[in-house]
Amino acid sequence: MQTSFRSGNFIRRFASGRIGHKDGSLQARIVKRLLNPPLSLSEEELRARPTIKMWLSRWNDTKETERELKEFQDKIMQDVEVAGTKENELSVDGINQWHFHNGVASKVTTPTLLIHGYAASSMAYYRTFSGLSEDVRDLYAIDLPANGLSIDIPFKALKPEPEPLKIKYIGDDKFSIAREIDVERNREVIEHCENYYLDKIEDWRKVNRLEKINLVGHSYGGYLSFKYALKYPSAVENLCLVSPAGVESSVFSINNNFNAKETYTLDMEDPSSKFYLRKRQVPTFIFKNQSEILRWMGPLGAKLTWNYIMSAYKRLPTMEYKEYLFELIYGRGGIPLTARQIFTTLFTRQLLAKDPIMDSLDKLQAKKVLLLYGHHDWMDKFAGYKMVERLNGLRRNTSADYMEVPEAGHNLMLDNPQFFNKSLIDFLSTE
């Protein structure tokens, strides 16, 4: 379903939809999935349900869990047929890479890189490899550092950390700030965290001797893809953000210039406003520790992890990827500390970026931009719509587009790979 920007009815419907969406916050959805697995499970799913034995088997040394993760990855990929060649290797800089080369593909001749989201890996795109390889001459998918099978490159946080912006609420719709923040120090810390990933992607591009690339990023990977396109503009031809995180402007943006002596009015509806805010937030303990909490819970944590996977990925027809995710999220020791450290520095407990995508649209040089969302996405689709609207206004053209994938949620490339592939190929095609 492609959306027309000339439809006033669409804008009103979108705004109405957002009101209902607030009642189903991300936190509430996660809790529901942890506690309530799908009512109907196949025999295969029931057999794979984690037990105490499975929990005990996950408390192995790092080498053992890495071996098991590699086995799960290879099990998934053995049934993925592609047009041309299929190669997997750990590059000299420690990045786990998939490369699909189809010398006769003519629709997309610019090398295209797929970037996964948070607590995920290149396998998040496994259902798209077959279809995309028919039309993309050189298709790549990588595990970001400290994710999947890529090495956990040491990360040294800048000390001391800057004091975060503190909001004082006044009534239901007003706020002030406790004190003005050190903007330059905050920006320095954010860029240091982003560069952990951005510079490694750039190193990867150079190792593969690629010039311009098409960049496709999902969720947190969409945020990082946008930031890569800003830092290395000459390297990016076209940019596709797939249900990206960090789009919304907000009161927490380091780009605001709030005065501690003034009172401001909140905007709970418009994610392109610097006064935007959603008050619901993840508790500090959960935000900082994430999957570690499930590990501390022993067999119960294993069961809750499995419940979540069964609910969040219920549209997947086979078990291999679900078992892989269990190993990735729980079995290998949870989400690596490096990944958690960086994410919790870049985002607030409201899951809003401290340096939002919306605030830097004027700096983006990518030739064309596409935002893709699932029709049942929990991500803020209205923010994506407003981003495209603003970007086209800045450029005074229609080089940016918004599209929704039917019968799909946040993981749209897994839920509806056929529609996803067609949308992406149409966008990237040079024919």
Residue type present at position 188: E
At residue 163 the predicted structure's pLDDT band, cuts being 50, 70 and 90, is confident
Contacts of residue 95, Cβ cutoff 8 Å, sequence gap at least 6: 142, 143, 145, 150, 151, 200, 204
Average pLDDT over residues 49-53: 50
Hey, what are 280's tokens? 């619901």
Contact call for residues 212 and 235 (beta carbons, < 8 A) = yes
Contact call for residues 317 and 308 (beta carbons, < 8 A) = no
At residue 92 the predicted structure's pLDDT band, cuts being 50, 70 and 90, is confident
Task: Provide the terminal-to-terminal Cα distance of the chain, rounded to the nearest Å.
Answer: 22
- Enumerate domains of the chain plus CATH numbers: 80-160+182-247+335-428 (3.40.50.1820)
The pLDDT of residue 42: 59
At residue 264 the predicted structure's pLDDT band, cuts being 50, 70 and 90, is very high
Contact call for residues 366 and 236 (beta carbons, < 8 A) = yes
Is residue 293's pLDDT more than 50? yes
Please tell me the distance from the alpha carbon of residue 393 to that of residue 100, in angstroms, as a whole number.
37
Nearest to 133 by CA among 111, 164, 118, 152: 111
- Burial class of residue 129 (count of CB atoms within 10 Å of its CB; 0-12, 13-18, 19+): buried
Contacts of residue 11, Cβ cutoff 8 Å, sequence gap at least 6: none
Contacts of residue 373, Cβ cutoff 8 Å, sequence gap at least 6: 242, 243, 379, 381, 384, 402, 403, 404, 405, 412
Say how far residue 244 (Cα) sits from the centre of its chain: 6
Which sign, positive or negative, has the C-alpha torsion 64, 291, 157, 113? Answer: positive
Residue type present at position 207: V
Please tell me the distance from the alpha carbon of residue 219 to that of residue 26, in angstroms, as a whole number.
14
Share of the chain above pLDDT 70, in %: 84
Average pLDDT over residues 92-110: 95
How much of the chain is helix, strand and coil, in % rounded to 5? 45, 15, 40
Is residue 408's pLDDT more than 80? yes
Is residue 60's pLDDT more than 60? no
Is residue 5's pLDDT more than 70? no
Average pLDDT over residues 196-210: 96
Taking phi first (over 0 means left), then psi (-120 to 50 degrees means alpha), and beta for anything else, what does residue 13 get? Answer: alpha
Nearest to 200 by CA among 287, 83, 95, 295: 95
Output the average pLDDT for the chain.
87
At residue 17 the predicted structure's pLDDT band, cuts being 50, 70 and 90, is very low
Q: Specify which residues 177 forms β-bridges with.
A: 167
Look-up: residue for tokens 């086995």? 71
At residue 361 the predicted structure's pLDDT band, cuts being 50, 70 and 90, is very high
Contact call for residues 162 and 179 (beta carbons, < 8 A) = no
